[in-house]
A and B are shown apart, each in its own frame.
Chain A
Amino acid sequence: MQENYLAKWLNGELTEAELAEFKKSDEYAAYQRIIEASSSLKAPDFDTGEAFMAVQNQRTLKETKVVQLHPFKKFLRVAAAVAVLVTGSYFYLNTLDETIATQYAENKEVVLPDDSEIVLNADSEISFSERKWDRERNIDLEGEAFFKVAKGKRFTVATKSGVVAVLGTQFNVEHRGDFFEVTCFEGLVSVTFNGKETQLPAGSSFMAINGNVVEARVPGTTVPSWMGKESSFKSIPLKYVLAEFERQHNVHVETQNIDTDQLYTGTFSNNDAQLALKSISVPSRIKFKFEGNKVLFYAENTP
């Protein structure tokens, strides 16, 4: 008889000879009986529909949980990213220098953290580090500004041409292209130009044009003239005067057949362009044509 013949018999897999032999055995009847009786066995009742409902309920329960968890996780992720960005940019911005600039025909007054005051003339820019101000009073300047420095530690104004250092005073610094001028109105100012230091007492000026130190006029006022809405010059090449006119009145200047290196001494108004043009043209013996936003200076003898 083959292996597991009872299982084979039940499955109808016995050969006829085997089946005949099995039927002759004493146990056959007993097996037959067991199979008969077990065929009427029943498992406990099971309601498929009910069980399915239960599974559905549990599913939605679990799904609801997932839905609730998800946005919170998302929110946390977004919140973390925002926190990193905010702190990052806070530290970054903190290290950035403070920058203040003026446009053409604009003046601006700035009060520094130590109550020092700066008045910016037209088309000028200063920058300084607010964070480091307590340790180091340093201003970078491009253009022209008047400084009223509160007493305290060394105060420096750095321009591309030279560095001005003071302890507490009032002074004006102008640096435009190759023109560099420092005027001291109160106290003592130290100007370092081309590695050479010059002490500037109150009521004196230091001026350098094109890298050469030139003798400067002596200011007769306590504040720079531009702060009184005027621009005054003493033996200054005309091109710098015209450039200043351009800045103060926001008017485009063109020249024709005139010597812009001739020296000019005088004052022009920063409020009235017509008046200013006359103040410039009459002493220099040149003519001008003023149209809209443009002014053309030309020699008297050209048509």
Chain B
Amino acid sequence: METNLQDNVCEEEVFGSIFKANSKTVFNYIYYKFGNEEKAHDAVQEAFVKLWENCSKVAPEKAKSFVYTVANNMYLNVIKAEKVRLKYADKTLRTTHESPEFLMEQDQFQEKLDLALNRLPENQRTTFLLNRIDGKKYAEIAEMEGVSVKAIEKRMHLALKSLREQIDGI
């Protein structure tokens, strides 16, 4: 990462690039956990204002895990997860050749997936979505959550397993 070359987060430029690289993921991370957009916005604010206040104490390479830790701690034991509402990319253009039956069946499947996702434990859902939506590698997720890569693999495995069971059962 280019920010590694700098040694001070207090530099306006360094701070800006850290923000650009991580703010969206911090937002999603908190949203996947609790399903609350407002709280996710607040978490981004809190995390990066804290980072700025402590900019002289946080090395740029540690800044990433710093903001996730702050965001995570902010709602630790405070709020209960709400329903996570996710949108689907508009596929109508791509799927014009599909039959109406197929489209309907697909909508139903997506509905089931939505429901199943919301029934997942918070840490499995977060891991699954960070990987699927944000394309985060297991190692990156492990860093955010402060656990081992193996633990993330376990969560991913369990998430997929229960998603399938849920969808098949509905």
User: Does A34 contact B163, Cβ atoms closer than 8 Å?
Assistant: yes
Please report the C-alpha to C-alpha distance between residue A6 and residue B153 in the assembled complex, in whole angstroms: 8
Please report the C-alpha to C-alpha distance between residue A34 and residue B40 in the assembled complex, in whole angstroms: 26
- Interface mask (A118-132 → B, CB under 8 Å = 1, otherwise 0): 000000000000000
Q: Measured between C-beta atoms, what is the minimum distance from B147 to chain A in Å? A: 14
| Most chain B beta-carbon contacts within 10 A, residue among A8, A35, A41, A54 | A41
Stretch among A55-63, A154-162, A227-235, A239-247 lining the B interface: A55-63
A46 contacts B by Cβ under 8 Å: yes
- From known contacts A43-B86, A59-B52, infer whether A52 and B164 are also in contact, taking CB-CB under 8 Å: no
* Size of the chain B interface, CB-CB below 8 angstroms: 47
Q: Which of A27, A33, A37, A51 contacts B23 (CB 8 A)?
A: A51
Please report the C-alpha to C-alpha distance between residue A3 and residue B154 in the assembled complex, in whole angstroms: 8
Q: Measured between C-beta atoms, what is the minimum distance from B1 to chain A in Å? A: 17
Q: Measured between C-beta atoms, what is the minimum distance from A146 to chain B in Å? A: 74
* Size of the chain A interface, CB-CB below 8 angstroms: 31
Q: Measured between C-beta atoms, what is the minimum distance from A261 to chain B in Å? A: 84
Which residue of B is nearest A54, CB measured?
A: B45
Q: Which of B31, B89, B154 contacts A4 (CB 8 A)?
A: B154
User: Does B153 contact A34, Cβ atoms closer than 8 Å?
Assistant: no
User: Does A7 contact B156, Cβ atoms closer than 8 Å?
Assistant: yes
User: Does A55 contact B153, Cβ atoms closer than 8 Å?
Assistant: no
Chain B hits for A41, CB < 8 A: 86-89, 129, 132-133
Please report the C-alpha to C-alpha distance between residue A146 and residue B52 in the assembled complex, in whole angstroms: 78
User: Does B87 contact A6, Cβ atoms closer than 8 Å?
Assistant: no
User: Does B89 contact A42, Cβ atoms closer than 8 Å?
Assistant: yes
Within 8 A of B (CB), among A2-31: 3-8, 10-11, 27, 30-31
List the interface of chain B (C-beta within 8 A of A).
16, 19-20, 23-24, 27-28, 31-32, 37, 40-41, 44-45, 48-49, 52-53, 85-89, 91, 106, 109-110, 113, 128-129, 131-134, 138, 150, 152-154, 156-157, 160-161, 163-164, 167-168
What are 28 A-B interface contacts by the 8 Å CB criterion?
Answer: A3-B157, A4-B157, A5-B157, A6-B156, A6-B157, A6-B161, A8-B153, A10-B131, A10-B160, A30-B167, A33-B109, A37-B88, A38-B128, A38-B132, A40-B89, A40-B91, A41-B86, A41-B87, A41-B129, A42-B89, A43-B86, A44-B31, A46-B24, A46-B28, A48-B20, A51-B27, A54-B41, A62-B53
Given A30-B164, A34-B163, A44-B31, 18 more pairs with CB closer than 8 A: A4-B154, A4-B157, A7-B153, A8-B153, A31-B164, A34-B160, A41-B86, A42-B133, A43-B32, A43-B129, A43-B133, A46-B28, A48-B23, A51-B23, A55-B48, A55-B52, A58-B45, A62-B53
List the interface of chain A (C-beta within 8 A of B).
3-8, 10-11, 27, 30-31, 33-35, 37-44, 46, 48, 51-52, 54-55, 58-59, 62
